[in-house]
Amino acid sequence: MKIVVTVKLVPDTNAEKRIDPGTKRLVRVPNETVLNPFDEYAIEAALQVRDARADGSTVTVVAMTPESGKEIVRKALAMGADDAVMLCDEAFAGSDVWGTAIALAAAIKKNGFDLVIAGSQSTDAGTGALPGALAEYLGVPGLTYLRKLAVEGTTIRGERETDTGFQTVRVEAPCLVSVTKSINEPRYPSLKGIMGAKKKTIAQWSASDLALSVGSGGAKTELTAQASPPVRGKGKLVEAADAVAGAQAIIDFLKEKKLL
Amino acid sequence: MQHAIAFVEQKNGTARRVAFEAVHAAKLVAEQLGGEVHAVVFGSGAAAVAELVKAHPATKIHVLDDAACNGFLIDPIVDVVAGLAKELGGAIVVAGNTMIGRDVASRVAARLDAGINADVVAFEVANGTVACVSPKLGGLTITTCAFKNADFGVALIRPNVFAAKTDAAGNGEIVALAAPTRAYAMTIEADVDEAAAELGVEEASVVVSGGRGLGGPEAFTTILKDLADSLGGAVGASRAAVDAGWISHGHQVGQTGKTVSPQLYIAAGISGAIQHKVGMRTSAVIVAINKDGNVPIAEFADLMVVGDAFAIVPELTRGVHAAKG
Ligand SMILES: Cc1cc2nc3c(=O)[nH]c(=O)nc-3n(C[C@H](O)[C@H](O)[C@H](O)COP(=O)(O)OP(=O)(O)OC[C@H]3O[C@@H](n4cnc5c(N)ncnc54)[C@H](O)[C@@H]3O)c2cc1C
Ligand SMILES: Nc1ncnc2c1ncn2[C@@H]1O[C@H](COP(=O)(O)O)[C@@H](O)[C@H]1O
């Protein structure tokens, strides 16, 4: 089975983020960039499916990212993925969900796939909309928000989180699934994994390799304005003498704000 | 783009609160485009929900109340919504930013080759072009993104932002949709509601969250829940509480959980780490209860009460009941 994991590179939330006022794009300083935390769960899920099958199944990581993301993509290889494809092209810069989904779909089709595993959301400007759009462009069913995944032959079974509980869902490969952080505990790359990753292939494909023209010119949405939200300052601090006084301070405050 | 389609999310005859907000948001846009509002209600129980939609401003309410479609997840809904958009020739599709809403909207967008804007809190319409205002990066910046000269666009609205007051003015015409005839690949084998009819944190106008300071699962189903109930709100949690297994992930607020912006957010025993903050900092009013006055949340809470949550929370619930009479 050919398993493909889509991974996004995102700014480390512990690092300060900045928007470039000229290009209006998020500034990504290389060493402040990490694998989208959700995608580590996706990689782990893929490795577990591959290893359980032990039939020569492979895991390929696909990321649309500038070339500077190479060392971070290598982390996915160090975890155990077999190879990686990076979609690097100035033409991809500024892609919206539409542009990203089209480019990823083209790359995944070129690579070949039976099962695509995505994270369910990304922690930067992500919308959680990519997996659905990608499934549509791949022309396969999309099973989202899985907290359990089992593959038997070509049958994919999953337990899907819902807003009120869960569903057990079944589908035949080829298909796309997205996973939540309840699905597993991602492994840390072992020393052997890190050494081995240096020898693994990271292919770089451009828009012309995929016969595509997407990116800022081809995006379906256009950033027209950007504003900073009002700064949230320090509010009132009350040292409660006892529980009644503490509760009363809150009641008074809620009344003042017309919330009670 | 001339008309607006609102996806009215419902399950077994109970509509999501954001479903009606979507109809109003659709109306806001359609009005300025000079078009119509089409609501789509799907699945068993849809007919009952459609009656409720009549009290909201939809021109037409498209209904498919068919249990046969329940077992296929979103695929038949996508066919119906995208099909309607194509029939109308040009439309913005509006859905709530919920799990189902995102799934439906993202596939519909791709099917229509349309752009998608998520977490929308306002629309701006000028010269027939629709732009969406959304907070990004956990509220770090607020962006306005326009759909570029397109026939179609898809917007996922943030719950709790667009008012959904009922008015008799709507009285939309109910139109029966034909059931899709094609076979669908995804099959739901079991659908389990663990928390029936519970209000999700994303939609609640009051969220009462607990963190590691609450020491165990009990507080989440007792003192925290009582306070949330007294205020008509929902219970949320920090990741520390979720990771400890005290409450399910669906309640988690933050970077790897849900983004909320209620009228009131109460954080009890939560330190206010950046990853928690990005999920709740756009709340209108933030109140924190913490033993320690020097935690990060003190820097951005509107009111910080230093004290023991176990003692203050039940007292506060009593006070709320007293104030409400
Ligand atoms: C990639 C990544 C993603 C993350 N995503 C999220 C996310 O989505 N959501 C999230 O919340 N966190 C997230 N985190 C974790 C985050 O960094 C913090 O660790 C977490 O928010 C801490 O939870 P807490 O405030 O409940 O616990 P703590 O930081 O331990 O705070 C507990 C607080 O309770 C107070 N306290 C103790 N006893 C009492 C009492 N009796 N009464 C009142 N107060 C008391 C203490 O003073 C303390 O301030 C993420 C971290 C990473 C690295
Ligand atoms: N640029 C990208 N390259 C590869 N995968 C991506 C990219 N953007 C999003 N994804 C995938 O889509 C998922 C959801 O991201 P998003 O829709 O951006 O919140 C991520 O967890 C990734 O698996």
pLDDT in tens, B259-271: 898 999 999 999 9
Q: How far apart are the first and last CA of chain A?
A: 58
The sheet carrying B141-147 orders its strands as: A221-227, B141-147, B129-136, B122-126
User: Cβ–Cβ of B116/A219 closer than 8 Å?
Assistant: no
Give the whole-angstrom CA distance, residue A8 versus residue A43.
12
Sign for the pseudo-dihedral over CA of B63, B69, B72, B78 = negative
Q: Which two tokens stand for residue B99?
A: 């799990």
C-beta separation of B209 from B267 below 8 A? yes
Q: What is the pTM of this model?
A: 0.88
Which residue CA neighbors atom 8 of ligand 2 most closely? Answer: A8
Q: Which residue did the predictor score with more confidence, A19 or B31?
A: B31
Residue B4 has pLDDT above 80, yes or no: yes
Best residue among A39, A130, A134, A179 to mutate for probing ligand 2, ranked by most atoms within 8 Å of CB = A130
Q: Which two tokens stand for residue A236?
A: 């009132």
Q: Give the pLDDT band (50/70/90) at residue B136.
A: confident
Give A 58-97 residues with CB within 8 A of chain B.
96-97
Mean of pLDDT over chain A: 90
C-beta separation of B67 from B46 below 8 A? no
Neighbours of B222 (CB within 10 A): 12
C-beta separation of A81 from A13 below 8 A? no
Q: Does B113 touch chain A (CB under 8 A)?
A: yes
User: Cβ–Cβ of B148/A128 closer than 8 Å?
Assistant: no
Neighbours of B218 (CB within 10 A): 11
pLDDT digits (tens, 9 = 90+) for A190-245: 999 999 999 999 999 999 999 886 654 568 999 999 988 777 888 999 999 999 99
Residue B248 has pLDDT above 80, yes or no: yes
Q: Which residue did the predictor score with more confidence, A222 or B138?
A: A222
Give the whole-angstrom CA distance, residue A85 versus residue A108.
9
The 3-state DSSP class for residue B137 equals coil
Helices within chain A (DSSP H only)? 37-53, 70-79, 97-111, 130-138, 191-197, 243-256
Q: Give the pLDDT band (50/70/90) at residue B138.
A: confident
List the single best residue of B1, B16, B103, B194 to mutate versus A (max A Cβ within 10 A): B103
- How do strand B303-306 and strand B115-120 relate by DSSP bridges? unpaired
Q: Give the pLDDT band (50/70/90) at residue A17.
A: low
User: Cβ–Cβ of A254/B311 closer than 8 Å?
Assistant: no
Which residue CA neighbors atom 13 of ligand 2 most closely? Answer: A119
Residue B245 has pLDDT above 90, yes or no: yes
pLDDT digits (tens, 9 = 90+) for B153-194: 999 999 988 988 887 677 899 999 988 888 888 888 998 887
Q: Which two tokens stand for residue A125?
A: 């400007």
Burial class, B165, CB count within 10 angstroms (exposed 0-12 / middle 13-18 / buried 19+): exposed
Of chain B, the percentage scoring pLDDT greater than 70 comes to 98
Neighbours of B174 (CB within 10 A): 17
Neighbours of A16 (CB within 10 A): 11
The set of protein residues with a Cβ atom below 6 angstroms from ligand 2 is A 6-8, 36, 38-39, 42, 62-64, 100, 104, 118-119, 121-122, 126-131
Q: Give the pLDDT band (50/70/90) at residue B230.
A: very high
Lowest mean pLDDT among A22-31, A33-42, B16-25, B99-108: A22-31
From the list B193, B275, B281, the residue facing A164 with the nearest CB is B193
Of chain A, the percentage scoring pLDDT greater than 70 comes to 92
Q: What is the full DSSP assignment across A177-215?
A: EEE-TTS--PPPPPHHHHHHHTTS-EEEE-TTTTT---S
Which residues, listed in sequence order, are joined to residue A121 by a DSSP beta bridge? none
pLDDT digits (tens, 9 = 90+) for A137-165: 999 999 999 999 999 999 999 999 887 78
From the list B98, B102, B187, the residue facing A129 with the nearest CB is B102
pLDDT score at B273 = 95
